[in-house]
Amino acid sequence: MNKKAKFKKITGILAALLCIVLVFGCVNAFRANKPGNSDAAPADATAGESSAVPTKTGSTSATLVCAGDNLIHKAIYTQAKSRAGGNGYDFSYAYKDIASYVSAADIAFLNQETVIVPSKEASSYPLFNSPKALLDEMTKIGFDVFNQSTNHVMDKGLSGALEDYELFHSYDNIILTGLYKTWDEMFIPQTMTKNDITFSFVGFSEYLNGLVVPKDSDLGLVYLTDTRHTKEELYSTMQKMIDAAKKASDVVCVSMHWQTEDITTPNASEKEIVQKLVDMGADIIIGTGPHVLQPIEFVEREDGSKVLVIWSLGNFISTQANKPNLLGGLADVTVKKDYATGKTSVENVKFIPTVTHYGAGRSNVRIIPFSKYSESLASSHGAGISYSYIKKFYEDMYGDLLDVS
């Protein structure tokens, strides 16, 4: 074959190949623009354009509202039963004035002081049990994180604690911390993410009012008077729980239930425990159990970072008679996350003061924000508490942190 014929043959082959390419290109273009084709590229897509999600810049923030001890005495659940008109319990009256503050938060934490065991009758001091309708009301107004590492968690025995655990886990979109079905479960982080910030929650207690977890039980509950373990073993367990939480979240929140009640300043033992929790890696520490308010402050780590310590938020509700037991509040915490560094920090802390108000004979018990309280209401308080006493107590304790708007 001469060179000219050979060239013509090669040219013919190339032309045929070009036609095939053009045909397939037209078919694919038709398919790409066919209505309903989920694989179709956008009309304005350009060659080489990345489909990766753009890296976020700037920062984000989320609010965490914390409430104190939800201590359900007989007068509270008796009132709720009466208001339900023979159809269970209605706790809405007791919480209606504070509900909007709770629901406004991205995450709302409550120390549920008493267990909720539906198979047993409601009971009050010294061995508490609250109706299931209470948990219904708490979730309704916006609480989504509940702590049960309290001195009352074993008030209805091991079977009661397990039933309480199962009840909380039957609800959607809430977290139970401080009480775990098994020892191993304690090391599975309980987390909640809001606005790209993941919070984890861990709970411990100092004591159980002299009650104990049976030696042969696998119940997950860390309390520092647990004779099944040495103090060193308990602190090692706490460290492992916090380590697991830290790996799974941006912010580790630790609730710590104190043994000493009715003191308005933390004692030496509590300060020692808090320092241990700070060193373990806690980012926010929420003290519970004293039934009275204590300060809110920052404690510094060795690396200079600061840990928010809410020593005690007092009673969220109760019918105790001592004046300080009737003054509580919400800690309103704003946490910020920097997208560039991934680091989080507490940017703002406010204290929203509340009063547990009741009339003669502990009637009509309800929580009222101090911003809505008045001298007239104070004069009708069944505990004989004055408006000026309440105002001074809050100002002395919290100063610039007070939010009475």
pLDDT value for 55: 85
**What digits encode the pLDDT tens for the residues 176-214?**
999 999 999 999 999 999 999 999 999 999 999 999 999
CA separation, residue 224 to residues 178, 244, 266, 272, 309 (Å): 13, 20, 17, 13, 19
pLDDT at 154 over 90: yes
Q: Name the band, by pLDDT with cuts 50, 70 and 90, for residue 13.
A: very low
**What digits encode the pLDDT tens for the residues 371-404?**
999 999 999 999 999 999 999 999 999 999 999 9
Query: Does CATH number 3.40.50.1820 belong to domain 59-400?
Result: no
Per-domain residue ranges for the chain?
A: 59-400
Exposure string for 316-341, b = 16+ CB within 10 A, e = fewer: bbbbbeebbbbbbbbbbbebebeeee
pLDDT at 37 over 70: no
**What digits encode the pLDDT tens for the residues 244-292?**
999 999 999 999 999 999 999 999 999 999 999 999 999 999 999 999 9
Find the range with the poorest average confidence among 16-30, 67-81, 210-224, 312-326: 16-30
**What digits encode the pLDDT tens for the residues 119-148?**
999 999 999 999 999 999 999 999 999 999
| Mean pLDDT on 156-171 | 98
Beta strand 197-205 with 190-194: parallel, antiparallel or unpaired? antiparallel
